[in-house]
Chain A
Amino acid sequence: MTARLARLPWGLVVLAVAFFVPAAGSRFYTFLANDIVIWGLFATSLNLLVGVTGLVSFGHAAYFGIGAYTTGLLMKKLSVPFLLAFPAAGLLAGALALVFGFFCVRLTRIYFAMLTLAFAQIVWAICFKWNEVTGGEQGMPEIPYPSFDWIAGLPLVGGWRTAEYFYFLTLVMVGLCFWVLRRIVGSPFGRMLTTIRENAERAEFIGVNVRRYELAAFVLAGAFAGLAGGLFGIFNRGVFPDFAYWTKSSEVLIMTLLGGMGAFYGPAIGALVLILLNQQIVAYTEYWPFVLGTILVVLLFVFPGGLAGAVQAAARRLGSARRA
Chain B
Amino acid sequence: MLEVRDVRKSFDGFLAVAGVSLRVERGQIAAIIGPNGAGKTTFFNLVTGHLRPDAGAVVLEGRDITGLAPHDVCRLGMGRSFQRTNIFPKLTVYENVQAAFLSHRGRGRDLWSRVERLYREETQALLGSLGLLERAEETSGFLSHGAQKQLELGIALASEPALLLLDEPTAGMSAAETRETIRLVERIARERSLTLLFTEHDMEVVFSIAQRIFVLHQGRVIAEGTPTEVRADPDVRRVYLGERR
Contact = CB atoms under 8 A, between A and B. Distances in A.
Interface of A: 183-184, 186-192, 194-195, 198-199, 201-210, 213
14 contacts: A184-B111, A186-B114, A192-B103, A195-B103, A198-B91, A199-B87, A199-B89, A201-B82, A202-B86, A202-B88, A204-B71, A205-B156, A206-B103, A210-B71
Contacts of B107: 188
Nearest to B118: A188
B99 A195 contact: yes
A208 B108 contact: yes
Contact of B100 (A189, A201, A206): A206
Decide if the interface of chain B is mainly helix, strand, loop or mixed: loop
Q: Which 8 A-B pairs have the closest CB atoms?
A: A198-B88, A206-B100, A204-B70, A207-B74, A192-B108, A188-B107, A188-B110, A207-B103
A207 to B, nearest CB: 4
Given A187-B113, A187-B115, A208 B103 contact: yes
Contacts of A194: 88, 91, 99
Contacts of B110: 187-189
Contacts of A183: 111-112
B201 interface: no
B88 A207 contact: no
Contacts of A209: 69, 71
B111 A207 contact: no
A189 B111 contact: yes
Nearest to B104: A207
Given A192-B103, A198-B91, A206 B155 contact: yes
Contacts of A198: 88-91
In the complex, which of the residues A191, A201, A210 has the most CB atoms of chain B within 10 Å of its own CB atom?
A191
A191 B89 contact: no
A183 B111 CA distance: 7
B102 interface: yes
Nearest to B119: A188
B71 A208 contact: yes
Nearest to A208: B103
B111 to A, nearest CB: 5
Nearest to A184: B111
In the complex, which of the residues A183, A188, A190, A199 has the most CB atoms of chain B within 10 Å of its own CB atom?
A188
A211 to B, nearest CB: 9
A205 B99 contact: no
Contacts of A195: 88, 91, 99, 103
Given A189-B109, A194-B88, A199-B86, A206 B74 contact: yes
